[in-house]
Amino acid sequence: MAQVLEFKLPDLGEGLTEAEIVRWLVNVGDVVAIDQPVVEVETAKAMVEVPCPYGGVVTARFGEEGTELPVGAPLLTVAVGGTAESAPTSATVAGGASAADAASAESSEYSGNVLVGYGTAGPAARRRRVRRESPAAPAAAPAPVPASVPASVQASVPTAAPAAPEGPLPVISPLVRKLARDKGLDLREVRGSGPDGLILRADVESALAAAETAASGTAAVGTAATRPAPAVAAGTGVAVGERVPLRGVRGAVADKLSRSRTEIPDATCWVDADATELMAARAAMNAAGGQKISLLALLARICTHALARHPELNSTVDMAAREIVRLPSVHLGFAAQTERGLVVPVVRDAGTRTAESLTEEFARLTESARKGTLTPADLTGGTFTLNNYGVFGVDGSTPIINHPEAAMLGVGRIIPKPWVHNGELAVRQVVQLSLTFDHRVCDGGTAGGFLRYVADCVEHPAVLLRTL
What's the pLDDT score for residue 354? 93
Mean pLDDT of 87-100: 41
Greatest CA span in the chain, whole angstroms? 92
**Does residue 369 surpass a pLDDT of 50?**
yes
Q: 15 or 387, which is more confident?
A: 387
Question: For strand 384-387 and strand 407-411, is the pairing parallel, antiparallel, or unpaired?
Answer: parallel
**Does residue 147 surpass a pLDDT of 50?**
no
**Residue 52 and residue 40: Cα distance in Å, rounded?**
12
Lowest-confidence segment of 133-147, 262-276, 291-305, 329-343 by average pLDDT: 133-147
- What average pLDDT does the structure give for the chain? 78
Grouping H, G, I as helix, E, B as strand and the rest as coil, residue 397 is coil
pLDDT per residue as tens digits for the range 178-196: 778 778 888 878 888 877 7
Identify the band that residue 87 occupies on the pLDDT scale cut at 50, 70 and 90: very low
**Residue 466 and residue 45: Cα distance in Å, rounded?**
39
Identify the band that residue 214 occupies on the pLDDT scale cut at 50, 70 and 90: confident
**Residue 263 and residue 360: Cα distance in Å, rounded?**
35
**Residue 92 and residue 84: Cα distance in Å, rounded?**
8
Task: Choose, from 331, 403, 421, 439, the residue flagged as catalytic.
Answer: 439
What's the pLDDT score for residue 15? 57
**Residue 407 and residue 327: Cα distance in Å, rounded?**
13
Mean pLDDT of 261-277: 95
What's the pLDDT score for residue 204? 83
**Does residue 221 surpass a pLDDT of 60?**
no
Rounded to 10°, the helix 444-459/276-287 angle is 50
Q: What single string gives the DSSP state of each residue in 263-322?
A: H--EEEEEEEEE-HHHHHHHHHHHHTSSSPPPHHHHHHHHHHHHHHH-GGGSEEEETTTT
Tell me the torsion sign for CA atoms 104, 109, 113, 116: positive
Is 460 one of the catalytic residues? no
Is 307 within 8 Å of 437 (Cβ atoms)?
no
Mean pLDDT of 247-264: 83
What's the pLDDT score for residue 7? 92
Residue 196 exposed, middle or buried by CB count within 10 Å (0-12, 13-18, 19+): exposed
Q: Report which listed range, 5-9, 49-53, 389-393, 453-457, is most confident.
A: 453-457
Q: 98 or 389, which is more confident?
A: 389
Residue 194 phi, psi (nearest 5)? -85, -175
**Does residue 449 surpass a pLDDT of 80?**
yes
pLDDT per residue as tens digits for the range 117-144: 334 444 333 333 333 333 343 444 444 4
What's the pLDDT score for residue 175? 65
Q: In 3D, which of 46, 48, 100, 74 has the Cα closest to residue 157?
A: 74
- Ordered by where they begin, the domains of the chain are 3-167 (2.40.50.100), 169-210 (4.10.320.10), 261-467 (3.30.559.10)
What's the pLDDT score for residue 128? 37
Grouping H, G, I as helix, E, B as strand and the rest as coil, residue 50 is strand
**Does residue 239 surpass a pLDDT of 80?**
no
Lowest-confidence segment of 29-33, 70-74, 418-422, 461-465 by average pLDDT: 461-465
Is 34 within 8 Å of 106 (Cβ atoms)?
yes
**Residue 343 and residue 364: Cα distance in Å, rounded?**
14
Q: How many CB atoms lie within 10 A of CB 235?
A: 6
